[in-house]
């Protein structure tokens, strides 16, 4: 994929962001508070990971730094607006490629969140029933838990969950094997 650069929305004179999620300063002349002039060279910036696992960068504007999440800068610069929620399609908070980002509702974003620490199957909404050894699939939608049945084969439960996510418009059409790899890493 070819790397394309655009001005960062609301920081057009100072920063650029790429479709691959990279950020750099723009070469420019800056006049300081006392009238001193200095030249700033273009420089690649290195984001850091915040405690929530998102890549962040400090951007300078109006004599102060603002910490911004890289995925929001990429989305806004390539789509032209800052949405309420930017979702990582593949659930990887560090994959800030423009093609991996989408504008979603809070509801869709919560469905695309990772597994809870108590999840033992590795797939959200799929659990093993100890008494029978079968796999139970479910999904929460509009405050209601929908049962997707009990399955003898783990992959059948995973596919039931995936198919319901597609039906509800939560997930884009994805082959079952790719879906399982994305969920379990």
**Residues 1-38: tens digit of each pLDDT:** 899 999 999 999 999 999 999 999 999 988 877 888 98
- Tokens (6 digits) for 175: 């082959």
Domain boundaries, given as residue ranges, for the chain: 5-82, 115-184
- The CATH code belonging to domain 5-82 is 3.90.75.20
pLDDT tens readout for residues 137-177: 998 887 788 999 999 999 999 999 888 888 887 766 555 55
**Does the predicted TM-score (pTM) go above 0.75?**
no
Cα(90)–Cα(93) distance, rounded to whole angstroms?
8
Q: What is the pLDDT of residue 69?
A: 97
79-85 long-range Cβ contacts below 8 angstroms, 24+ apart = 79/103, 80/9, 81/9, 82/9, 85/109
Q: Which CATH number fits domain 115-184: 3.90.1520.10, 3.30.730.10, 3.40.50.300, 3.20.20.120?
A: 3.30.730.10
């Amino acid at each position: 994929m070819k790397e394309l650069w655009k001005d960062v929305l609301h920081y057009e004179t100072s920063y650029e962001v790429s479709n691959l999620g990279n950020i750099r300063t723009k070469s420019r002349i800056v006049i300081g508070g006392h009238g001193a002039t200095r030249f700033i060279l273009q420089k690649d910036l290195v984001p850091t990971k915040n405690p929530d696992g998102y890549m962040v960068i400090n951007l300078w504007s109006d004599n102060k730094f603002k910490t911004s999440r890289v995925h929001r800068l990429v989305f806004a610069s390539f789509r032209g607006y800052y949405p309420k929620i930017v979702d990582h399609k593949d659930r990887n908070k560090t994959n800030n490629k423009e093609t991996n980002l989408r504008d979603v509702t809070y509801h869709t974003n919560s469905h695309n969140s990772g597994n809870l620490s108590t999840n033992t199957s590795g797939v959200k909404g799929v659990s093993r029933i100890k008494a029978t050894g079968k796999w139970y699939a479910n999904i929460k939608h509009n405050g209601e838990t929908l049962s997707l049945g009990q399955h003898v084969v783990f992959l059948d439960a995973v596919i039931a969950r995936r198919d319901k996510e597609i039906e509800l418009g939560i997930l884009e059409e994805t082959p079952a094997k790719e879906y399982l790899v994305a969920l379990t890493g």
